[in-house]
């Protein structure tokens, strides 16, 4: 289970009176303004005096705790105890425990429950933290040396997190400790209020530092940032804890403070989860949940190791908006932009074949940029490192300074050729021509390649635009729009079983790559693999291969015999239909596809793809030489689907919306 820790009423019954840091301060103010009965005050006072009279607490023979707290020159102790009366100092002394620790003792281990907040009274204490090196291994590094009079451990204490540092005594030392039970009992009392405020503020500052790097909070001033931080609560997730679950109704934003989480989504087949990416500290997810009440989580997030997250719930966010409305506007604008990117992308043919998780990643790496009338986006012969999708407005395309075309269609994309070529130069000039200007979705060369360089559908469209009527069957089968047209052509020729078999095997092979990316144990993967082979392999076999099948394909008799033998023996694997698929491909290439290329439908298809007719022959040849090997590798991989999820890792540090 994920532990929802500290100030929101959490796992301990004694904490049920606590909320966020703001709740704590409000409850303290309320308590301070509520007069107690004289009888009750006298009773508490007498109790403390009796305890103090038993034994005066000493740090050393010459120094009492009372003197230490009131004479210390550290800012922290002065803030917590410097303005208290002698009587209130006595109360604080009584609340603190004194512990003398031998040299070499580790009195707090990393991961221990944070039961105390400490003050170093004398000696030498060092804090150590584990850090990962380049090999992924953890090294123990000294974080800091605690100074005498310094308060430490307060952040983990108030956030109720397992200790993030190891605390070791270098020389004989004395520490003062405030226990959790004592804190929860007296934190509203006037005499403990300054110390309590200091501890709470430390927790808020930890959250505020984390929020500084979050886009939606980066524009806040210091006071607003601290106010926002006070509304968050800390969550400690153990390794393998499910933090959010795909399909659940969302009502909070989460910021990863430390650790690592893995993002998964259901496989196409649906019986297991596929890993999309991993997220590191500073990543944000769940923005949609803050502004949309009916939002359901788009993915599952699981802690891949012990992690700390800060959560902001929708009701607390609404409270914050009363003082920072512009944050809501900025958040809504960003979310609407991300949604618009996906909606526009869905209307672009080659994006139809792109996996849903890559469209999700597209919106995390894309941004909207507006251009004034007359702005030149691309200059013929100039370098280009950006992929553009027109969102609104009008553009003009020039070749050799001659106006060739006016672009007005929303979703028109450009810049892809210069991103894929070694030269990286634009083949045309594109300018904004609408008086209101234009807006484009944009992403960088690096992100475009990471997302789409292994996508057969993307490369197929680009290559078909280059090749025109020289396009091959592999392009047709890899491109969603052309594939649909070709299937209808085969149906008219009463040869649909061939293309259906080829596509079924392609989908069957995709299950293997999804399984390779599955977030499952080795044993679970093996069991799932067996089920998938038996279930989906049998469907293809019975429909297209078996002697009594309804849509029997025309393959070599020896190949059919080997497949029958494999199913009878139960020796199944994801590559068992490969040779039959290649045989059917060759048959379609020489038969169905030859006639398809002569049809009006084929030429209409090419016309709809907006061929690169005006590109120079030299440029076309260069592009073909560069793209052909990439395209063939991607389309070959699409048969065994080994790269279906590649590219996601490059984007693992991006903020995401779930």
Contact assessment for residue 60 and residue 122, using Cβ atoms and an 8 Å cutoff: yes
Q: Which class is domain 337-455? A: mainly beta
| Yes or no: domain 210-322 corresponds to CATH 3.90.660.20 | no
373-422 pLDDT per residue, tens: 999 999 988 998 898 988 889 999 888 888 888 887 887 888 887 776 66
Residue 566 tokens read as 């494999």
> In percent, how much of the chain has pLDDT > 90?
31
Can you tell me the mean pLDDT for 514-534? Answer: 86
- CA 223, 226, 232 angle in degrees (round to 5)? 150
The topology under which CATH files domain 3-198 is: Jelly Rolls (2.60.120)
Of the listed ranges 131-135, 174-178, 434-438, 600-604, the one predicted with least confidence: 131-135
The model carries a pTM of: 0.64
Query: Highest mean pLDDT: which of 22-26, 122-126, 635-639?
Result: 122-126
Longest Cα–Cα distance of the chain, Å, equals 105
Of residues 262, 311, 225, the one with CA closest to residue 10: 311
User: Closest Cα partner for 5 from 258, 243, 309?
Assistant: 309
| Euclidean distance between CA atoms 278 and 172, whole angstroms | 44
- Report, at the CATH architecture level, how domain 469-640 is classified: Orthogonal Bundle (1.10)
Cα 541 from chain centroid? 40
- Contact assessment for residue 540 and residue 578, using Cβ atoms and an 8 Å cutoff: no
Q: In what order do the strands lie in the sheet with 233-237?
A: 3-5, 233-237, 307-313, 252-258, 284-285
Distances (CA, A) of 550 to 503, 539, 565, 584, 587: 17, 12, 20, 17, 19
465, 470, 475, 479: CA torsion to nearest 10: 40
Contact predicate 184/116, CB 8 Å: no
pLDDT value, residue 611: 58
**What is the band of 456 on the pLDDT scale with cuts at 50, 70, 90?**
confident
pLDDT beyond 70 at 15:
no
Q: How far is CA 151 from CA 120, 121, 564, in A?
A: 7, 10, 75
Domain ranges, ordered by start, for the chain? 3-198, 210-322, 337-455, 469-640
Residue 338, phi then psi, degrees to nearest 5: -65, -40
pLDDT tens across 188-213, in order?
899 999 999 999 999 899 888 888 87
Question: Which stretch of 426-435, 488-497, 628-637 has the lowest confidence by average pLDDT?
Answer: 628-637
Using the predicted structure, report yes or no on whether residue 358 has a pLDDT greater than 70. Answer: no
Fold: same for 210-322 and 337-455: yes
User: Which of these, 229, 191, 189, lies nearest to 209 by C-alpha position?
Assistant: 229
Say how far apart CA 584 and CA 332 lie, in whole Å: 51
Query: Would you mind telling me the total number of residues written for the chain in this entry?
Result: 658
Instruction: Tell me the pLDDT tens digit for each residue of 542-593.
Output: 999 998 888 999 999 999 999 999 999 989 999 999 999 999 999 999 999 9
Q: pLDDT tens digit string along 283-312? A: 888 877 877 778 888 889 999 988 889 998
d(CA 98, CA 114): 17
Low-confidence winner among 8-22, 88-102, 467-481, 514-528 (lowest mean pLDDT): 8-22
Residue 278 CA to residue 284 CA, distance in Å, equals 12
């Amino acid at each position: 289970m994920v532990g929802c820790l500290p100030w929101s009423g959490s796992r301990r019954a004694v904490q049920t009176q606590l909320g966020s840091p703001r709740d704590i301060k409000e409850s303290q103010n309320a308590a301070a303004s509520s007069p107690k009965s004289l009888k009750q005050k006298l009773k508490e006072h007498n109790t403390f005096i009796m305890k103090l009279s038993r034994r005066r607490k000493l740090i050393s023979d010459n120094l009492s705790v009372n003197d230490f707290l009131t004479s210390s020159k550290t800012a922290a102790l002065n803030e917590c105890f410097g303005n208290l009366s002698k009587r209130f100092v006595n109360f604080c002394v009584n609340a603190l425990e004194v512990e003398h620790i031998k040299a070499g003792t580790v009195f707090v281990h990393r991961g221990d429950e944070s039961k105390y907040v400490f003050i170093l009274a004398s000696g030498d204490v060092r804090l150590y933290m584990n850090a990962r090196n380049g090999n992924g291994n953890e090294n123990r590094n000294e974080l800091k040396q605690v100074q005498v009079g310094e308060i430490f451990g307060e952040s983990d204490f108030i956030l109720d997190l397992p200790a993030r540092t190891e605390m070791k005594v270098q020389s004989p030392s004395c520490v003062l400790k405030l226990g959790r039970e004592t804190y929860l009992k007296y934190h509203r009392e006037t005499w403990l209020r300054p110390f309590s405020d200091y501890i709470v503020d430390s927790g808020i500052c930890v959250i505020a530092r984390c929020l500084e790097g979050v886009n939606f909070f980066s524009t806040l001033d210091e006071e607003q940032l601290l106010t926002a931080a006070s509304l968050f609560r800390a969550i400690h997730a153990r390794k393998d804890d499910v933090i959010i679950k795909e399909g659940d109704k969302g009502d909070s934003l989460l910021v990863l403070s430390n650790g690592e989480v893995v993002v998964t989504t259901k496989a196409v087949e649906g019986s297991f989860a596929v890993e999309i990416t991993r997220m590191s500290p500073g990543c944000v997810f769940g923005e949609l949940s803050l502004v949309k009440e009916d939002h359901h989580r788009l993915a599952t997030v699981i802690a891949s190791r012990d992690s700390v997250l800060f959560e902001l719930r929708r009701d607390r966010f609404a409270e914050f908006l009363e003082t920072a409305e512009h944050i809501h506007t900025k958040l809504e604008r960003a979310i609407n932009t991300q949604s618009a990117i996906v909606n526009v992308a869905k209307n672009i043919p080659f994006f139809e074949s792109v996996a849903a998780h890559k469209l999700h990643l597209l919106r995390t790496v894309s941004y909207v940029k507006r251009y004034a009338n007359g702005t030149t986006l691309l200059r013929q012969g100039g370098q280009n490192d950006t992929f553009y999708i027109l969102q609104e407005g009008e553009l003009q395309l020039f070749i050799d300074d001659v106006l060739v075309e006016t672009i007005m269609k929303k979703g028109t994309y450009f810049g892809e050729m210069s991103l894929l070529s070694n030269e990286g130069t634009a083949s045309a000039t594109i300018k904004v021509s609408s008086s209101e200007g234009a807006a484009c979705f944009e992403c960088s060369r690096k992100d475009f390649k990471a997302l789409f360089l292994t996508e057969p559908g993307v490369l197929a469209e680009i290559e078909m635009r280059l090749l025109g009527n020289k396009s091959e069957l592999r392009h047709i089968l890899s491109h969603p729009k052309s594939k649909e047209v070709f299937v209808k052509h085969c149906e008219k020729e009463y040869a649909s079983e061939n293309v259906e078999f080829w596509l079924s095997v392609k989908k069957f092979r995709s299950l293997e790559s999804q399984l390779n990316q599955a977030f499952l144990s080795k044993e679970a993967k093996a069991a799932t693999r067996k089920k998938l082979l038996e279930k989906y392999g049998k469907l293809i076999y019975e429909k297209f291969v078996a002697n009594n099948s309804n849509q029997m394909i025309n393959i070599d008799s020896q190949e059919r015999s080997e497949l029958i033998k494999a199913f009878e023996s139960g020796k199944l694997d994801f590559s068992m239909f490969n040779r039959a698929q290649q045989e059917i491909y060759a048959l379609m290439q020489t038969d169905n596809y030859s006639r398809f290329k002569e049809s009006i439908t084929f030429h209409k298809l090419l016309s709809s793809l907006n061929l690169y007719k005006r590109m120079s022959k030299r440029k076309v040849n260069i592009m073909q030489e560069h793209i052909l090997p990439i395209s063939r590798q991607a389309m070959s991989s699409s048969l065994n689907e080994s790269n279906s999820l590649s590219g996601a890792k490059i984007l693992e540090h991006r903020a995401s919306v779930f």
